[in-house]
């Protein structure tokens, strides 16, 4: 690289001594600091000659902190916490305090660059914007002429949860760009399993209450989540509830910072959560703790399953189907053919809604058709996990399982908090379904103190925004844009590049545009990722830092930092606000906001008419719905107040009255198997229809793979990095300077490994070399390390080379925790 900026403005030492030390140390040892207590910070703000702007910190830590951005002489000199309308949400962390280090760091991309060395070498030279845009347009026009616009593939990450220049799950402006281009789209496929598995139970409805409701829970169960590190601004709500008498239960294989605060710790083996949940259900059913009315009228337990695995429907009993509302995708009326249940009193099968007392067991053949109830099917799975069996699988005692069942039965309301622990396994969706059932069948959802979910405050943004108008532009004549052409999963790219086909259809991909993402580091199977990058003819990456992914690009475009542009912080997990981002300073060097880059690219491609919109107009369009008006979320309010609540006032309590399933009830079985994986491969539906659990594919203790690779490797988040962001920030490197792998002391002693020794982790996939840290919080045969560092940070190899890219048969999900390795002292 021949042109990047140098650190400027502040020395690392002076910065640490100045602002960050006030709160950084506190933020590193407990839950995030409550910044409205920081008198020193507040008084210095008052006396400061700086201009103070509104900012939002919006990487994918989920925090979405509201910031003061302090500007002096056209340069950001520091950041501090800004008051939320509800002070309970006032928080900031070490990273929020060290934006200066990112903005003005040595790796900042300041100019458009073109690659002059090998891919991955980092040899680039500065070019002008005109040359960069002309080169991209020339390449893309050529590909489009020969293969169509689908030869260009857009790749989205989660590096900026803002509506204009960010990622924002299909409502961000990037989606307008994709739709205007009519290009291919590559899916990131991360964090998908729990949402997919839980939707089998719920039909996809939101069951998470607002964080301020935690105080109403008698028990809170943190299941596979270490919020002290990875979602730190939720932690104080849990601890405040605990101080108020709420029992704090943590289910996690590792004794970590969150477990250290627990009243009761359930040290489940990694990836066995589904077996634990099925066993808890087993205890509940054995004890008769699931009430009859719930089973008959709030679940689909009475539905009748034929031998082919599908439901017996009323049309098979001579009742004509009726027409329902139009299908939003096809526009055709939906067909309503209700599933049948057995009405014992009437001795006949009826539509499920026609009786409140459907039989749960022992239904005779119906019109000569052999049937089983959903209840019987569910029990056939649940009965496989009596406490003795599950305790052995999960590394627990039977008492753990009995006590957990008792809590959900007696110590409610229970709020269950789930995050990425079970999400990052190939069996994650199998686990999530019974975990959700534990809450739902005991009435622990849909009321104050009773909830289950991932703390996410995404619902109105995803459901009620006017994304149709904002993201699907028309040309000057009113003709709609072409729209996104297809969906490619990362695991399929190499095959598409080699065969020129996707799902049997011709598809030639020549170029990729990488936005808000660092996939070379974050995706499983590093060699695979660099392999498909190398097969692409032309790669463009837009980023603010020279990441490892940028080094594999042909052209790197300098994206503006979050504070160098107007934007709207849109999707957060730790508070229910939209937050306004002022443009605080001019972009460094020749950087530009991604929103503007999209417009420039479309202009060059002759598609400028689809980007005939300003930043403010885009946001006004997005918020132009009755919902946003009803809660007062308008661009005008956001510009004035800088923050607007996405729900009506009062704790938001999710409803658990009507589920999104076919019957509106809780599912313990489904006859139609949805896939979160668009692929042509065969699926064994008999596994997917009912409750099912299996050990992790690589990390499961009973897997042959573990005989060769005896250590289960967990991929952890870091307090000082948000995924791969902040990896180069000198300030936070004072605390976490390099990658380490944590090893249980007894395992380390057996291998003769001491603190700081250099070790190699390896498996069939690859290897990485880094230093060891001895940590008694890890159980035997489990090690952990962070998925945050770039290739140059490792002594050798790459952490991302260890996890396999293989997906479950129906759920496309990067399984970062389903990894087994061997260890060798170097």
Which residues contact ligand SF4 (rule: CB under 6 A)? 57, 59, 61, 63-65, 92-93, 95-96, 232-233, 722
298 beta partners: none
3-state secondary structure of 469: helix
Cβ-proximal residue to ligand SF4, closest one: 96
Residue position matching structure tokens 């489990």: 782
Task: Phi first, then psi: give them for residue 366, nearest 5 degrees.
Answer: -110, 115
DSSP type of residue 297: I
CA–CA distance from 128 to each of 111, 112, 539, 542, 555 (Å)?
Answer: 7, 6, 17, 15, 11
CB of 719 to ligand SF4, least distance (A): 9
CB of 228 to ligand SF4, least distance (A): 12
| Alpha carbons 242 and 258: distance in angstroms, whole number | 12
Nearer to ligand SF4, 358 or 576 (CB): 576
| Alpha carbons 553 and 538: distance in angstroms, whole number | 8
Contacts for 43 with CB less than 8 Å, ≥ 6 apart? none
CB of 95 to ligand SF4, least distance (A): 4
| Alpha carbons 275 and 287: distance in angstroms, whole number | 18
| Residue 758 and residue 795 in contact, taking contact as beta carbons nearer than 8 Å | yes
Nearer to ligand SF4, 670 or 722 (CB): 722
Nearer to ligand SF4, 65 or 512 (CB): 65
CB of 32 to ligand SF4, least distance (A): 6
| Alpha carbons 693 and 688: distance in angstroms, whole number | 10
| Alpha carbons 150 and 208: distance in angstroms, whole number | 38
348 beta partners: 343
Outline where DSSP puts E strands in 327-422.
Answer: 333-336, 340-343, 348-351, 371-373, 414-418
Residue position matching structure tokens 């099917």: 377
Nearer to ligand SF4, 190 or 235 (CB): 235
Q: Which contiguous run of DSSP H or E holds residue 79? A: strand 75-81
Nearer to ligand SF4, 64 or 358 (CB): 64
811 beta partners: 676
Task: Phi first, then psi: give them for residue 786, nearest 5 degrees.
Answer: -95, 140
CB of 53 to ligand SF4, least distance (A): 16
| Alpha carbons 240 and 215: distance in angstroms, whole number | 7
Nearer to ligand SF4, 61 or 485 (CB): 61
Nearer to ligand SF4, 234 or 484 (CB): 234
First to last CA, the chain: 32
Nearer to ligand SF4, 231 or 404 (CB): 231
CB of 777 to ligand SF4, least distance (A): 22
Nearer to ligand SF4, 363 or 718 (CB): 718
Q: Helix-strand-coil percent breakdown of the chain, rounded to 5?
A: 35, 20, 45
Contacts for 415 with CB less than 8 Å, ≥ 6 apart? 209, 213, 214, 217, 219, 220, 221, 444, 449, 450, 451, 452
Task: Phi first, then psi: give them for residue 330, nearest 5 degrees.
Answer: -95, -25
Nearer to ligand SF4, 95 or 515 (CB): 95
Nearer to ligand SF4, 57 or 568 (CB): 57
DSSP type of residue 36: G
The tokens describing 105, both together, are 């760091």
Contacts for 447 with CB less than 8 Å, ≥ 6 apart? 413, 653, 656
CB of 730 to ligand SF4, least distance (A): 17
DSSP type of residue 749: H
Nearer to ligand SF4, 93 or 440 (CB): 93
3-state secondary structure of 542: strand
Nearer to ligand SF4, 88 or 315 (CB): 88
∠ CA(505), CA(508), CA(511), 5° rounding?
145
DSSP type of residue 523: S
CB of 93 to ligand SF4, least distance (A): 3
* Residue ranges in 605-727 assigned as alpha helix (H): 615-622, 626-630, 635-641, 685-689, 705-708
CB of 768 to ligand SF4, least distance (A): 25
Q: Residue 723: CA atoms inside 13 Å, Cβ hemisphere, count?
A: 23
Nearer to ligand SF4, 89 or 311 (CB): 89
| Alpha carbons 608 and 688: distance in angstroms, whole number | 46
| Alpha carbons 140 and 585: distance in angstroms, whole number | 33
Nearer to ligand SF4, 79 or 765 (CB): 79
The tokens describing 459, both together, are 């619902």
CB of 415 to ligand SF4, least distance (A): 21
Nearer to ligand SF4, 57 or 360 (CB): 57
| Alpha carbons 655 and 680: distance in angstroms, whole number | 37
Nearer to ligand SF4, 30 or 664 (CB): 30
CB of 450 to ligand SF4, least distance (A): 27
- Burial label, 165 (beta-carbon count in 10 A; 0-12, 13-18, 19+): buried
């Amino acid at each position: 690289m021949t042109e990047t900026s140098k650190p400027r403005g502040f020395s690392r030492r002076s910065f640490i001594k100045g602002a960050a030390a006030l709160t950084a140390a506190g933020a590193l040892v407990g839950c995030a600091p409550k910044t409205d207590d920081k008198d020193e910070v507040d008084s210095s703000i008052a006396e400061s000659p700086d201009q103070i702007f509104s900012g939002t910190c919006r990487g994918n830590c989920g925090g979405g902190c509201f910031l003061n951005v302090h500007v002096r002489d056209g340069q950001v000199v520091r950041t501090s916490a800004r008051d939320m309308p509800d002070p309970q949400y006032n928080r900031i962390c070490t990273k929020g305090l060290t934006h200066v280090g990112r903005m003005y760091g040595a790796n900042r991309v300041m100019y458009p660059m073109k690659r002059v060395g090998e891919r991955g070498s980092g040899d680039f030279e500065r070019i002008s914007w005109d040359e960069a845009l002309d080169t991209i347009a020339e390449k893309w026009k050529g590909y489009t002429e020969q293969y169509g616009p689908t030869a260009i593939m857009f790749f989205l990450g989660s590096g900026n949860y803002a509506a204009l220049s960010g990622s924002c799950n299909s409502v961000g402006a990037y989606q307008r760009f994709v739709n205007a281009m009519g290009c291919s789209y590559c899916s990131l496929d991360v964090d998908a399993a729990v949402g997919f598995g839980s939707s089998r139970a719920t039909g996809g409805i939101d069951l998470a209450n607002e964080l301020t409701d935690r105080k109403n829970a008698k028990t809170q169960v943190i299941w596979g989540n270490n919020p002290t590190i990875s979602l730190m601004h939720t932690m104080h709500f849990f601890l405040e509830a605990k101080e108020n008498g709420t029992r704090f239960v943590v289910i996690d294989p590792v004794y970590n910072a969150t477990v250290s605060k627990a009243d009761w710790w359930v040290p489940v083996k990694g990836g066995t959560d589904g077996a634990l949940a099925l066993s808890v259900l087993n205890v509940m059913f054995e004890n008769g703790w699931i009430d009859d009315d719930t089973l008959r009228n709030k679940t689909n337990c009475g539905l009748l399953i034929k031998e082919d695995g599908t439901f017996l429907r009323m049309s098979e009993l001579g009742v004509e189907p009726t027409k329902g509302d139009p299908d939003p995708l096809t526009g055709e009326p939906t067909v309503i053919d209700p599933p049948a249940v057995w009405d014992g009193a009437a001795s006949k099968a009826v539509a499920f809604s026609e009786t409140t007392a459907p039989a749960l067991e022992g239904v005779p053949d119906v019109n000569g058709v052999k049937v089983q109830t959903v209840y019987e099917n569910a029990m056939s799975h649940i009965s496989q996990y009596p406490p003795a069996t599950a305790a052995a699988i999960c590394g627990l005692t039977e008492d753990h399982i009995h006590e957990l069942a008792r809590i959900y039965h007696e110590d409610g309301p229970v709020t269950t908090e789930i995050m990425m622990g079970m999400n990052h396994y190939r069996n994650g969706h199998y686990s999530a379904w019974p975990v959700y059932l534990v809450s739902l069948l005991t009435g622990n959802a849909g009321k104050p103190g009773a909830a289950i979910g991932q703390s996410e405050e995404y619902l109105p943004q995803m459901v009620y925004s006017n994304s149709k108008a904002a993201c699907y532009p028309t040309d000057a004549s009113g003709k709609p844009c072409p729209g996104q052409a297809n969906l490619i999963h990362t695991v399929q790219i190499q095959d598409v590049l080699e065969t020129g086909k996707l799902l049997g259809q011709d598809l030639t991909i020549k170029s990729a545009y990488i936005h808000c993402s660092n996939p070379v580091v974050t995706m499983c199977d590093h060699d695979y990722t660099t392999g498909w990058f190398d097969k692409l003819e032309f790669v463009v990456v837009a980023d603010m830092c020279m990441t490892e992914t940028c080094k594999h690009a042909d052209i790197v475009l300098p994206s503006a930092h979050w504070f160098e542009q107007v934007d709207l912080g849109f999707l957060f997990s730790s508070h229910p606000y939209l937050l306004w981002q002022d443009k605080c300073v001019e972009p460094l060097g020749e950087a530009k906001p991604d929103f503007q880059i999209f417009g420039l690219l479309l202009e060059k491609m002759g598609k400028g008419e689809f980007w005939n919109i300003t930043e403010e107009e885009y946001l006004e369009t997005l918020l132009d719905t009755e919902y946003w008006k009803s809660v007062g979320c308008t661009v005008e309010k956001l510009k004035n107040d800088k923050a607007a609540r996405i729900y009506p006032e009062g704790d938001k309590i999710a409803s658990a009255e009507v589920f999104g399933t076919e019957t509106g009830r809780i599912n313990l079985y489904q006859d139609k198997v949805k896939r979160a994986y668009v692929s042509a491969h065969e699926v064994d539906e008999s596994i997917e229809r009912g409750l099912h659990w299996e050990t992790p594919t690589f990390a499961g203790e009973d897997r042959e793979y573990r005989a060769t690779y005896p250590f289960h490797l967990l991929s952890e988040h870091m307090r000082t990095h948000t995924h791969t962001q902040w990896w180069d920030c000198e300030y936070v490197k004072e605390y976490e300077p390099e990658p380490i792998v944590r090893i249980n002391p007894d395992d380390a002693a057996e291998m003769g490994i001491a603190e700081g020794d250099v070790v190699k982790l390896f498996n069939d996939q690859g290897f990485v070399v880094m230093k060891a840290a001895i940590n008694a919080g890890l159980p035997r045969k489990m090690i952990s390390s962070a998925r945050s560092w770039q290739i140059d940070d490792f002594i050798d190899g790459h952490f991302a080379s260890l996890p396999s890219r293989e997906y479950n048969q129906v759920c496309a999900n990067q399984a970062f925790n389903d990894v087994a390795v061997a260890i060798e002292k170097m």
